[in-house]
C-alpha cells in the first residue's frame, strides 16, 4: 500500500500537524497571559503604594492633632 492510499499515515500526519500548529499558539498565549499578569501586578503595587502613602498622611495628621491637644492641655494647666 502506498502512502497516498494509507489512511493511518494521514491520520498520524494530521495529529502531528495539530501539535506543530498548537506550539506557536501556546507560546503566544503564554506571552499574552504573562503580560496581563505582570500588568495586574504592577497595578496592584501602584494601588498598594497609594494606600500606604494615604495611611502615612492620615497618621501624620493624627500625631499633629495629638501634639496640638497636648500643647493645649499643658498651656491650660499652667
pLDDT of residue 33: 80
pLDDT of residue 62: 96
16-75 tens-digit pLDDT: 888 888 888 888 888 888 777 888 889 999 999 999 999 999 999 999 999 999 999 999
Residue 2, helix vs strand vs coil:
coil
Distance CA 5, CA 8 (A): 9
Half-sphere CA count of 32, side-chain side, radius 13 A: 6
pLDDT of residue 68: 95
Q: With bands split at pLDDT 50, 70 and 90, how would you rate the model's confidence at 15?
A: confident
Q: Which three cell numbers stand for residue 40?
A: 495586574
Distance CA 24, CA 36 (A): 18
Please state the pTM of the whole predicted model: 0.51
Amino acid at each position: 500500500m502506498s502512502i497516498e492510499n494509507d489512511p493511518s499515515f494521514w491520520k498520524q500526519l494530521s495529529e502531528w500537524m495539530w501539535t506543530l500548529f498548537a506550539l506557536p499558539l501556546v507560546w503566544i498565549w503564554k506571552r499574552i497571559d504573562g503580560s496581563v499578569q505582570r500588568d495586574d501586578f504592577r497595578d496592584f503595587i501602584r494601588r498598594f503604594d497609594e494606600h500606604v502613602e494615604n495611611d502615612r498622611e492620615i497618621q501624620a495628621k493624627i500625631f499633629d492633632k495629638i501634639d496640638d491637644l497636648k500643647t493645649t492641655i499643658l498651656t491650660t494647666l499652667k
